[in-house]
Amino acid sequence: MSKSKLLQFQLAGVVGFGFLIEHAGIDQYSVAWPGREAERFSVSEAECRGVEISEVVLDATLEETDSDNEAIAELHKHYEQSIQGTIEGLQKEFAATLSSRDERIKILESELAKFNTPQTTPEAEDVAIEAYLKEHGLEVTNKSVMEVLKTHDIIVQSAQVTAVKERLKAAK
């Protein structure tokens, strides 16, 4: 006769079900994990591996017979299938939630971008380029003009700067 407890275990976020079996003075865990074979290990080995006991599901005294061992194996199988079904359901629900969340974030980001993106016209950009060139001279590089205007949220292209430089040179 031995005492068995049906337990819920956790290891690195994975939930398993199994038994604490006290037999001949030796405590052992027999655990079914989702997606892999059931395993047996000592209590001290469980502690070393970081296996945590989440809760006692059932406490019973069993007379060890082959049919009891078969019943235990069947319970392992049942709980493994239940856990797998629960995990798959949670994964689907989580994936759907993430997908929905990601879609909402994209919509919000695009809406925010409308407010954060400077709405300058090409004419206003040309005026800004011209003002900078008149203050710093036509010899400055296109890149330096672009970088300075960018700090003021005015995004211009190198070709725009060149066109304004040529227009200013022609006007001299």
pLDDT tens digit at each of 172 positions of the chain = 455 667 777 888 788 888 777 767 778 888 888 877 888 888 888 888 888 877 666 555 545 555 556 666 676 666 666 776 677 777 777 777 777 777 777 777 777 766 655 567 888 889 999 999 999 999 999 999 999 998 888 889 999 999 999 999 998 7
* 156 shares a domain with 73: no
DSSP state of 63: -
* 71 shares a domain with 140: no
Q: What is the pLDDT of residue 1?
A: 46
> 19: which 2 tokens?
């038994």
Rounded Cα gap, residues 46 and 51, in angstroms:
5
* 78 shares a domain with 6: yes
Asked whether residue 74 is assigned to any structural domain, the reply reads yes
Asked whether residue 115 is assigned to any structural domain, the reply reads no
Residue 23 host element (H or E) = strand 14-23
Residue where a domain terminates, one of 96, 112, 141: 96
* 79 shares a domain with 153: no
In the chain, how many domains are there? 2
Q: What is the pLDDT of residue 119?
A: 63
* 90 shares a domain with 44: yes
* 27 shares a domain with 76: yes
Rounded Cα gap, residues 6 and 76, in angstroms:
10
* 13 shares a domain with 63: yes
Contacting residues for 157 by C-beta, under 8 A, at least 6 apart: 146
The answer to whether the predicted template modeling score (pTM) of the entire model surpasses 0.75 is no
Q: What is the pLDDT of residue 76?
A: 65
Contacting residues for 102 by C-beta, under 8 A, at least 6 apart: none
N- to C-terminal Cα separation, the chain:
108
Range of the domain at 139: 122-171
